[in-house]
Structure 1
Amino acid sequence: MIITEIITEEYRWPRARPITNGLHTYTDVEFALVRVRTDEGIEGIGLGSGGDIWRATIEHLKPLLIGQDPVNVERLWARMWVPKLIGRRGLTTRAISSIDIGLWDIRAKVANLPLYKLLGGYRDSVPTYIAGGYYEDGKGLKELAAEMEENVRLGARAIKIKVGAVPIAEDVERIRVVRDAIGPEVKLLVDANCAYRWYDAVQLARRIERYDIFWFEEPVAPDDYAGHRKLANQTIIPIATGENEYTRYGFRDLIAHEAAAIFNADAKILGGVTEFMKVAALAQANDLDIAPHGSQDIHVHLVAAIPNGLILEYYRENFDPMWGEIYRDTLVLNKDGTVSPPNVAGIGVDPNYDVLKQYRVA
């Protein structure tokens, strides 16, 4: 089998209302794919970030990949990742990630196994939290509480909200309201998206410890390893980070600085499935857990595959107006608040191109 063609596709559609986290506002949903085709008719779907640099990087990499056997993922990763020129960090690494995910989709299809079983098959369903609690126009404490109560009714055993875009006292009140809404048994996670200096993060952490916070995610800038450590040393709340970290080397440095207890590794960012599994093994050797950031569609397999997969991030329909229409089959919560990987060969993502085509932008 050889790779014959690599195609990129990018889509965008508007949200009814913009959503805001600690630092950024999002008016649209962006969705990007890499389609890796082979001479045997097997196509791998890689999930991506899109954009000019992402697209140009994939064009640059095509000559290195076309004509190669897609099953040789380590060989192809090494061909793509040449850190003097491409792939050390940033958008070029994200492009490598997208291709690598597509290669693993092919690999699992060739093996006729769901990806999580090919990678290790540690469990058949994974603990899950619903991500939400964004800042939105017209969304006050009452609306925030209602959102969280709905999450619990859907079966969530854990939920996450955003912090960092308003004064600390206001976020403390938001957290109090959410804890009251979900009760004492549901895990409560908070995510600052790098909004704080370490000393401000300490102020917030100390004031919210009473609300039994499961983790404090991305409290400070990704490269502020010392700030992560200073915060971790002054709070009982576990620190989670890593969604903006790249390759095994970035996570090696997080470990060396004792920066976090939980890694939010993202296969779409750090270097794909190939590199994610190395990060997971590195974390396991240091008794650290992995709780991936972002796309549940790829990460449900990766959390299910490894023994130190802690919990899966899950986005429901209120996050994306196209939820339930992007793919022909959509991951849903089980009654016990877990999510099960698709029991089909590959990743199990089957884009609904008939619906998507009206939103294509590149």
Structure 2
Amino acid sequence: MPTIRNVRACQPVDQNSPDDWRTSIGQILVAIDTDNGLTGFGVGGGGRAGLHVIDTVLKDLLIGRPVETVEDHWKNLSNAILPFGPEGIATMALSGLDLALWDIRGKLANQPIATLLNSEVNLAQPIPIYQTVWENVPEDVAQGNCSVKLHLGESTSKGLSTSKLVDQLVKKVERAREAIGPNRKLMVDAWMKWDLETTLRFAAQAEPYRLEWIEEPLPLNDRDGYATLSRECPIPIAGGEHVFTANQFQSIIEHRLQTILQPDVCWVGGLTELVKIYEMAKQPGFRVIPHRGAELWSLHAIAALSEQPLAESGRPWMSWVGGQPKVTQGTIQLLKRPGLGVDIDESLFSAKTTIQL
């Protein structure tokens, strides 16, 4: 069994990277090198803090160890971050390491990760995607044929009455439905900016537009509010991109706080945790639709484990991740490449535009 020789990490910054937390905290690149010449790549999060966690706590738990069962490494790494919290930046950093280990696992087997997850997976089967847009549907998206998620930015803190705010929100949904037509799927994302009253009023008024789900309408810690929505809201509630580890998803499932589960594989703890979440969600009434699922980091799990595959558009500013399949007529299809199938330019780990370990 090959041994881990080195662990490297950096924070690539593309010229089109957004000037906010999505760049400064949301992404890091990880490489794990073995003594037989293989390198596995993963993307995690945590920014400079994530790099620090890897450098000072996690990498020494891997270097010199055999590339054994990935799940065993996950347990050791997870135990190491318990003293300073298994939620947030530390788990985001761990996610990149876990994905890199899975990449090595696939390369050792000379198989795509999707095939390792499900030997009967059909890699030639196109996976439908949905495009996330902000406020309005751009003309090119309106003329396409993919599903659309409308990111609604209005907050209950704007000072508008609930009635006026809901009217504005529903008007945008109406315009979006008109733009994409009656047959394409439409969803909305509130990004934790609404309250319970706003959400229920919005759901009642927006029901004629046949929304697939309302995503993260309430702050994450408003469990009572989500419990009320699960009982009273006529539109399914989605969420989970800011939830860490499968254990937290277990609580969401047990209390049916959300039925559309959207873990982000680059933040939740990696592919090891995403596989657990798929297993937890096999009971009736739940569906796993990973955040940014069209990226290769999640796409293998979607192809292998989803009964109704659907992938969200990825981060367009991460052009430094090569090997990403093209979207064609509203679908994406995995290529038959070993591991995760990503191509990474090694110069990123020494480039001046990156922050390194």
Is the shorter-chain TM-score for this pair beyond 0.5, marking a shared fold?
Answer: yes
C-alpha distance in 2 between matches for 1:267 and 1:26:
15
Q: CA shift at 1:201, angstroms?
A: 1.3
Tell me the equivalent position of 1:93. 91
Tell me the equivalent position of 1:305. 304
List alignment gaps of at least 5 residues for structure 1: 19-23, 136-143
Tell me the equivalent position of 1:258. 256
**Per-residue deviation, residues 229-259 of structure 1 (Å, max 9, x unmatched):** 2123222211111111121211111012211
Tell me the equivalent position of 1:347. 340
Q: CA shift at 1:353, angstroms?
A: 5.0
The answer to whether the Cα contact below 8 Å between 1:13 and 1:29 also exists between their aligned partners in 2 is: no
Closer/same/farther in 2, CA of residues 115 and 162 from structure 1, 3 Å limit? same
Q: What residue identity is the alignment partner of 2:105? A: R
The answer to whether the Cα contact below 8 Å between 2:290 and 2:312 also exists between their aligned partners in 1 is: yes
The answer to whether the Cα contact below 8 Å between 2:46 and 2:90 also exists between their aligned partners in 1 is: no
C-alpha distance in 2 between matches for 1:127 and 1:358:
37
List alignment gaps of at least 5 residues for structure 2: 156-164
C-alpha distance in 2 between matches for 1:310 and 1:235:
24
| Residues 1:225 and 2:223 are matched in the alignment | yes
Q: What residue identity is the alignment partner of 2:259? A: A
**Per-residue deviation, residues 113-153 of structure 1 (Å, max 9, x unmatched):** 11111111544332211112x25xxxxxxxx34x1x41243
Structure 2 length as normaliser, TM-score?
0.87
What does residue range 328-343 of structure 1 map to in structure 2 within 5 Å?
Answer: 328-335=322-329, 337-343=330-336
What does residue range 38-49 of structure 1 map to in structure 2 within 5 Å?
Answer: 38-49=34-45
Q: Report sequence identity in percent.
A: 28
2:320 to 322, 326, 344: 326
The answer to whether the Cα contact below 8 Å between 1:284 and 1:308 also exists between their aligned partners in 2 is: no
What does residue range 156-235 of structure 1 map to in structure 2 within 5 Å?
Answer: 156=146, 158-165=147-154, 167-235=165-233
Farther-moved stretch of structure 1 (224-233 vs 188-197): 224-233
1:79 to 76, 81, 101: 76
| Residues 1:12 and 2:20 are matched in the alignment | no
C-alpha distance in 2 between matches for 1:77 and 1:31:
19
Q: How many residues end up aligned between the 2 structures? A: 339
Farther-moved stretch of structure 1 (39-48 vs 119-128): 119-128
Structure 1 length as normaliser, TM-score?
0.86
The answer to whether the Cα contact below 8 Å between 1:33 and 1:48 also exists between their aligned partners in 2 is: yes
Q: CA shift at 1:102, angstroms?
A: 0.3
The answer to whether the Cα contact below 8 Å between 1:155 and 1:333 also exists between their aligned partners in 2 is: no
**Per-residue deviation, residues 25-68 of structure 1 (Å, max 9, x unmatched):** 86889642100000011000011224232112111111111111
C-alpha distance in 2 between matches for 1:200 and 1:8:
42
C-alpha distance in 2 between matches for 1:30 and 1:270:
12
Closer/same/farther in 2, CA of residues 249 and 53 from structure 1, 3 Å limit? same
C-alpha distance in 2 between matches for 1:181 and 1:43:
45
Q: What residue identity is the alignment partner of 1:234? A: E
**Per-residue deviation, residues 302-347 of structure 1 (Å, max 9, x unmatched):** 11110345411113xxx63x46x42343322133x22112210011
Q: CA shift at 1:99, angstroms?
A: 0.3
**Equivalent position SS for 2:343:** coil
**Equivalent position SS for 2:187:** strand
